Amino acid sequence: MPLLRTIAAAGLMLAAGGPFGAALAAPQVERLRGTIERVEGDAVTIRTRAGTTETVRLAAGTRVAQLAPASLDDVKDGSFIGTAAKAGPKPGDPPVALEVLIFPEALRGAGEGHYPWDRLPDGAASGPVETSMTNGTVKAPEVETSMTNGTVGAPSVETSMTNGTVAGAPGAGRTLTVSYKGQSLAVAVPPGTPIVRLEPADRAVLVPGAKVFASAVRDGDHLEARSVSVGKDGLTPPM
């Protein structure tokens, strides 16, 4: 029995860390950003931002979509979004969004959660920075209210008129509260942050020269796309 237990333990160690482990390891998910060089049948070749070339196979279940320009005003209470963000400027500050993606209702719940993301370009830092991704539902901030019951009078009062710019108007920054899996996170969205909307599309949008963001599973030398998102009208996917 001790010998059998030793053999079994050795087998488990090999499966976890040796060549057998490599064979049993889960396929690795990779995120590719770049430009389509060519499309041949079910294969798309992407020239990545790093200058490498990767060929990605399209499976029957590969989701193809377009990314269209949007604005912060398109993010409503109840919108399901994803946002890649960097750490705030000071400890305790909310993370700062580098982009916001608005999902269609059909994809509500996709990738829900808060997790590490990739190093992304950040003009404010003159280079790439570490980011996290938060996918969840935008929640309108709660406000304190009060109720007063009584008789309404109608006294004459002095009034004034003020014409000006409303805080939070188009082009202004905003803080979004994103709820996910019973938790929530405040994310600051500065003016000028790229906001895009995910739109369903078919493979006809996969053409040479298109800017793409692809999520693919690598199994050895084989890359199979889970999703490919194409920037609409030359837009560069910001995520």
At 42-94, the pLDDT tens digits run: 999 999 999 999 999 999 999 999 999 999 999 999 999 999 999 999 999 99
- Of the listed ranges 126-135, 181-190, 204-213, the least confidently predicted one is 126-135
Rounded to 5 degrees, what angle do the CA atoms 196, 200, 201 make?
110
d(CA 53, CA 34): 9
Question: Mean pLDDT across the stretch 102-113?
Answer: 96
More confident: 225 or 144: 225
Higher pLDDT residue, 209 or 163? 209
Q: What is the pTM of this model?
A: 0.77
| pLDDT for residue 26 | 62
Of the candidates 87, 186, 190, the one whose C-alpha atom is nearest the C-alpha of residue 132 is 87
Instruction: Give, in degrees to the nearest 5, the angle at Cα 206 between 204 and 210.
Output: 130
**Lowest model confidence (mean pLDDT) among 31-40, 46-55, 154-163, 191-200:** 154-163
